[in-house]
Amino acid sequence: MAEDLVSVNPARPGEVVASFPTTDEAGIDAAVERVRVAQHAWSAVPVPARAEAIAACGAALAAHKGDLARLVSREVGKVLVEAAGDVQEAIDMAAFVAGLGRAPWGETVPCEMPDKLAFTTRHPVGIVATITPWNFPVAIPSWKVFPALLAGNGVVIKPSEHAPACCETFVELCTASGIPRELVQVVHGGGEAGALLTRHRAVRAVSFTGSVPTGRKVAAAAMECGPKLVSLELGGKNAMIVLDDADLDLVVDGAVFGAFGTSGQRCTSTSRLVVQRGVHDGVVDRVVHRARSLVLGDPTVATTDVGPVIDRRALDRIDAMVRAAVDEGASIVAGGEPVAVTGCEGGSFYAPTVLVGVERHHRIAREEVFGPVLAVMPVDDFEEAVDTVNDSRYGLSAAIYTRDVNAAMRATQRLDTGIVYVNAPTIGAEIQLPFGGTKHTGNGYREAGRRGVEQFSETKTVYVDYSGRLQRAQIDNRPPV
């Protein structure tokens, strides 16, 4: 008999948040079958009616925003204001996707033959498997579930083992709002459950958000049982460029929020601060001062600035990376160690950390930390800054701070990332625009925006010939050779 999956409060790991049975192979088969039956009926529902059901989900999320935000804070350690933002993102996604229910579903194009019509439309893929991370336990499921449902699909979702309760609550609110209960199924477990779901022959599309190594395994597993649509969102090593003419007050605000918001546990977190030498020391001094003043503590307390990282394993990994950076020649000027917080015994807290003297070849400059660690790297000019940012296997998000509009526009063209910010940190994506990156960050798909529906549907091209005779395109309307 499989053991239950238990989630705990990372601020107080002795506190159990929720417990769910781990789903075995038979359970996954049963969940997929329930979705298969329900999806057949759902695909026949008019798209505007699907959209109305999704809008109702958004209304339910809004009505329960406070309770759901507190659950997010307890289960994954986000401070309350960020937990509320997580839920709000799902509310916004529901509104946006619902709006697409009455938007164009394809395009009509001219035909080269008379009395002939050609157009495209979208067709559901069938059953979508989604594997979601813990760091956005409500927002990211909404990015996947709502577009998939609007496209006419059914969904089986496997949340992270660290955030099962958030996902269960999200789905419960959706099904209580009019989404057919059998249409969205939640399964629980670790890598084995994910692999079983991904390989399932009835699953036609897989959407995964997580680490590069796991993403590679997901992609390989998906191809074992026939071709599937596979979308991967895998991480980043995001950098903020600061030029000499930048507004330094704005820079410091952005660097602190970008690096230490969500305890640095966003795929878009600001991990590298690439600073022109003329302002390097001043920026470092001010960021260090702010980092040292941040309050670590219980994330459900409103005065807390930085909550815990997700667990002790993550804490140890982050600390090991900081130690390795020092061994390679970097210096710690703020933080650099685990912190014991009164009232949060056993909590996985790591001090907001600033490293200087970091060079491109250092591990801390190349690998994703996923923790509250900012590596500062000095550069001589714009050209070196852009080259430094692009010298990474990741390409998710980048930012530039400058008052020079020409430099800003050149950066938007030359930075090899899927997202570029000007005078804003590397975090803060909005749901109406595509989200994703280049290189090892993913496999070319984009989530959110109109692309969200596209990644969960197939394009169907339709030709209607009402001429009453055989018309041979490229033959009848062109002279023979």
Closest CA to 296 of 265, 356, 247, 342: 342
Ranges of CATH 3.40.309.10 domains, the chain: 238-422
> Are the C-beta atoms of residues 203 and 28 closer than 8 Å to each other?
no
Give the pLDDT of residue 223. Answer: 83
Give every CB contact of residue 138 below 8 A, 6+ residues apart in sequence.
Answer: 61, 68, 72, 86, 87, 89, 90, 166, 167, 170
Q: Is the pLDDT of residue 1 over 60?
A: no
Closest CA to 252 of 44, 35, 401: 401
Q: Please calculate the CA angle 120-126-132 and round it to the nearest 5 degrees.
A: 110
Give the pLDDT of residue 2. Answer: 62
How confident is the model over 320-340, as a mean pLDDT? Answer: 97
Q: Please calculate the CA angle 164-167-173 and round it to the nearest 5 degrees.
A: 140
SS3 20: strand
Q: Is the pLDDT of residue 290 over 60?
A: yes
SS3 65: helix
Give every CB contact of residue 125 below 8 A, 6+ residues apart in sequence.
Answer: 151, 153, 204, 205, 229, 456, 457, 458
How confident is the model over 2-19, as a mean pLDDT? Answer: 93
Q: How far apart, in Å, do the first and last CA atoms of the chain sit?
A: 73
Give the pLDDT of residue 473. Answer: 84
CATH superfamily of 4-234: Aldehyde Dehydrogenase; Chain A, domain 1 (3.40.605.10)
Closest CA to 433 of 452, 457, 461: 452
* Residue 230 amino acid letter: V
Give me the chain's average pLDDT, please.
95
pLDDT tens for each residue of 462-481: 999 999 999 998 888 777 77
Residues designated catalytic = 233, 267
- The architecture CATH gives domain 238-422: 3-Layer(aba) Sandwich (3.40)
Ranges of CATH 3.40.605.10 domains, the chain: 4-234
